[in-house]
Amino acid sequence: MRIATWNVNSIKQRLDHLATFVRSAEPDVLCLQELKCVDESFPRAEVEALGYNVVTHGQKTYNGVAILSKSPLEDVRRGLPGDESDEQARYLEGVLSTSAGVVRVASIYLPNGNPIGTQKFDYKLAWMDRLNAHARRLLALEESLILCGDYNVIPEPEDAANPGSWASDALFQPESRGKFRELLNLGFADALRACSDQPGLYSFWDYQAGAFQRNNGIRIDHLLLSPQAQDRLRSASIRKEVRGWDKPSDHVPVMVDLDIE
């Protein structure tokens, strides 16, 4: 089973890119972030024509997450539990039935949190606390669980080409990184780092100052695997070439292959 995650930075603007990517990579499941549209405006017919079932949790202009799956999704959850007043569309979860048992997948668009010292940063940290609490409950189910998405967290200095330039950014604050480590310490594995410690592996490059051409990037898009999913991990990869396409998202897809049929 191939599972991918991608912040498309507007599904309407990247629909052609989405079609090109899924035809070349053929993911069984694709988690999308930053749709920037309500559910009714999602190009469902076009995506279904590519061979996918579609579940969305959208929001006008901002945020929005989706899960595209070749198999039907069950037990769908829209929204992260823990705060009934939170209206931001940042979390979507569903279950696939396979010959190897249940596979649970979540699409996550974690808050950016900038600027630090504001309510936006407080919201980011509180959201991460809710995510960690929910993840702990999901781990108790002892399923193959994959938490996919744009975490807006640079885990370690080697995950940035120029760590010093991010010192005052919410993505690289000790608090953000600490809560990400708390999530890992529950028993999750960072799929990419479980497969490679190679430097220079990034999933985001700013649009400004030729960042992509100079590989001045950061790694903020992650797939975290429960112990049951870790046992089935075969490989992980970043589709860097997608950033070189015409009018791309500033993020690229990240993928894992699991021994699940």
132 is in an annotated binding site: no
**pTM score, two decimals?**
0.98
Residue 189: closest CA among 236, 133, 154, 150: 236
17 is catalytic: no
169 is in an annotated binding site: no
259 is catalytic: no
The residue from 52, 109, 151, 202 that is catalytic is: 109
7 is in an annotated binding site: yes
Phi, psi of 239 (to 5 degrees): -90, 70
99 — pLDDT class (breaks 50, 70, 90): confident
Q: What stretch of H or E contains 225?
A: strand 221-225
For residue 202, the model assigns a pLDDT of 98
Q: Where are the domains of the chain?
A: 2-258
> Cα separation of 47 and 8, whole Å?
14
Query: Is the distance from CB of 88 to CB of 109 less than 8 angstroms?
Result: no
pLDDT digits (tens, 9 = 90+) for 209-223: 899 999 999 999 999
Q: Which CATH class is domain 2-258?
A: alpha beta
The residue from 150, 169, 190, 257 that is catalytic is: 150
For residue 240, the model assigns a pLDDT of 98
42 — pLDDT class (breaks 50, 70, 90): very high
190 is in an annotated binding site: no
Checking if the pLDDT of 93 tops 90, the result is yes
What is the average pLDDT score of the chain?
A: 97
The residue from 17, 57, 222, 251 that is catalytic is: 251
Checking if the pLDDT of 261 tops 90, the result is no
Pull the structure tokens for residue 228: 């049951």
162 is in an annotated binding site: no
Checking if the pLDDT of 100 tops 90, the result is no
Checking if the pLDDT of 54 tops 90, the result is yes
| Single-letter amino acid code for the residue at 3 | I
pLDDT digits (tens, 9 = 90+) for 225-237: 999 999 999 999 9
> Cα separation of 11 and 52, whole Å?
15
150 is catalytic: yes
Query: Is the distance from CB of 113 to CB of 120 less than 8 angstroms?
Result: yes
Radius of gyration for the chain, computed over Cα atoms and rounded to the nearest angstrom: 17
251 is in an annotated binding site: yes
188 — pLDDT class (breaks 50, 70, 90): very high
| Single-letter amino acid code for the residue at 77 | R
Residue 198 neighbours by CB under 8 Å, 6+ apart? none
CA 14 to chain CA mean position, Å: 16
